[in-house]
Structure 1
């Protein structure tokens, strides 16, 4: 064997060994569906018990419904839109109750909306505090609808039987995302980062006693943003400016330990959800625009071990909220930079 052949042989062996030593990246499939209204800016979405995906169109002033079995990627097939009664209401967050009724917040309209899927009829309920700017909304264990008043620094509760609304004042910080867990409402307080008004807290409201507990999330500009809960009751949240995912560990009591997972520089994680079956945490990221995954079997606190990103085709998609369906598919909104006048009009689905 010549020296040249020896070198080629050695390089080939090295290359094979290297490839065998590199863990394979698990492939995913991403599909996108177009809303009938252009520049609609889908903001939030929720999966109904029947599998339908409901979403808000903050710029089109509509609620959308997507039937997965009727969709075709790259088209509006299977999507129906419902216009709100009042113009410029800016429907923002949405949830589907156990009985199938769709509830949503109207950020500019200062109302809570109710949509009956059977008839398409929409009812609206005025929030007592003016200009409260309602954000996320969730159903409680008793069927009440809990929501956050971002601008008023309050937590609201709507009784679906009579439409009455009760409000709870909380500390300053502009509550954004929430988890409802029994008698407790958890929420993030990241401030108004676009106005350079930063807060770095997560908090818990005891709805029976009215007691509010707040915990600081360093650094000062961490901007706690999205929030979710795992099947074991653990509360997770994103730190949008600190580029981390984190959860609260109460094993040693109160205050809790904040367990953090680094994502890399300036990833801008927005929302997150725990897939207990696959033991991963999915999240939306904006730098670059992608869907991220944290593998809990590989993750190490304080590092970015187990983190992967799956870029979207549109570099200006600005994925916002996400949800899991019964099959473990990840549905997400592509909102665009709505607050800067840059709109998008897609709903995405990632198939693991």
Structure 2
């Protein structure tokens, strides 16, 4: 592997301004405390409260298989949730360390599972065919590897928040191409009248039908677009002013018309960008303080959103501009929120429910959730990806494991 991989030049696109070179970025360590995403702070607090821990290991992966006994749980005013019988396999990440934080998984054309390991800044790949692991460290990483997608050609695109670049990795050659991002300035909340210099903090990304890479910029309150063929970067601001006290935008998805849907967590809004006109339209969610996180669009054009604070799964109908609320109950009535979100081929909706230590499958027609409890206690199920109708992959951020749910 070429640790230093070539750095790509960016041509500044309106209105983003001149992009900074990756090796000239200011020190992020000194300012990280001010702009660390609130999701990760909440994530660490939850892990601390549940007493999760892990230790470094070099042992080969071992799969634990567990069958869950069905039990019915219900709450007043909530959708009934039936805990289902299912088979789980759990694969401990090799060479993991405490607080690694496994991010959202992505599946490639060979059925392999890829995801970022944030704290140690590695890309991990698990191959189910031989139950084998591979990891690789991107160049110049600073412990902030977040979103990751698999392109149609099998290459990987990923977002480096702290190092402030979009990365492209070719597994076949082991080479990286890096695309440095601009920096932004914002008022320093601790020192009146002073400014902080910050990375734009890329978070989630996707590839559109033209092969353009879109991503959310949390510190810049903007969407970014990268043209891999030319290296051109363009930014679409969502607000006129930047502040480190916001977490905007976060999740990202596209619909059949090419619109880019996003969540604005601190503003409790969702919205979409029409890339043809540059027009941005936003909608306030029905629950203040819910913190919308992940977002996805189904085959019918319905927009689904997880919320991190209120145990709510939201559905938004773009035609009627109306929200439908689905409250995800937990066995003890606790509130831990939903994060991971994935749609299967029949538009079934899968989410991770951290407080319940479970995956949940929504059946909208039956007005209920099917719950699948993760065998490892306090595993903090985080990201989720549906392979097919029988298999659902998920990351266990609190246990440093990759999980596989196999339906009967």
Q: Give the TM-score of the pair, scaled to structure 2.
A: 0.70
CA distance in 2, matches of 1:165, 1:214: 23
What's 2:323 paired with?
Answer: 258
C-alpha contact 1:139 1:180 (8 A) present in aligned 2:
no
1:88-99 mapped onto 2 (5 Å cutoff):
88-99=142-153
CA distance in 2, matches of 1:327, 1:245: 21
Deviation at 1:326, TM superposition (A): 4.1
Matched, 1:330 2:399: no
- Give the one of 11, 19, 30 matched to 2:88: 30
Matched, 1:186 2:261: yes
Deviations 1:25-66 (A, max 9, x none): 642111111112212321121111221111101012110111
Matched, 1:269 2:327: no
CA distance in 2, matches of 1:99, 1:213: 32
CA distance in 2, matches of 1:328, 1:35: 23
What's 1:60 paired with?
Answer: 120
1:158-197 mapped onto 2 (5 Å cutoff):
158-171=226-239, 174-181=248-255, 182-191=257-266
What's 1:123 paired with?
Answer: 177
1:232-311 mapped onto 2 (5 Å cutoff):
232-252=300-320, 256-264=321-329, 265=333, 266-277=335-346, 280-299=348-367, 306-311=368-373
- Higher RCO, 1 or 2 (CA under 8 Å, sep at least 6)? 2
Q: Secondary structure at the match of 2:365?
A: coil
Deviation at 1:24, TM superposition (A): 8.3
CA RMSD of aligned residues (A): 2.0
Deviations 1:72-124 (A, max 9, x none): xxxxxx11001121142421110011111100000111111111010121221
CA distance in 1, matches of 2:351, 2:83: 17
Deviation at 1:161, TM superposition (A): 1.3
CA distance in 1, matches of 2:277, 2:390: 37
- Give the one of 377, 380, 404 matched to 1:318: 380
CA distance in 1, matches of 2:128, 2:202: 29
Structure 1 residue ranges without an equivalent (≥5): 1-18, 72-77, 192-198, 300-305, 337-343
Q: Secondary structure at the match of 1:85?
A: coil
Deviations 1:160-190 (A, max 9, x none): 2133221110137511111122431101111
Greater gyration radius = 1
CA distance in 1, matches of 2:119, 2:223: 25
CA distance in 2, matches of 1:308, 1:24: 5
Distance of aligned partners of 1:348 and 1:24 in 2 relative to their CA distance in 1, 3 Å threshold: closer
CA distance in 2, matches of 1:250, 1:108: 34
C-alpha contact 1:201 1:224 (8 A) present in aligned 2:
yes
CA distance in 2, matches of 1:227, 1:183: 15
CA distance in 1, matches of 2:111, 2:345: 19
Q: Give the TM-score of the pair, scaled to structure 1.
A: 0.80
CA distance in 1, matches of 2:349, 2:108: 21
What's 2:160 paired with?
Answer: 106
C-alpha contact 2:83 2:372 (8 A) present in aligned 1:
no
Aligned residues: 301
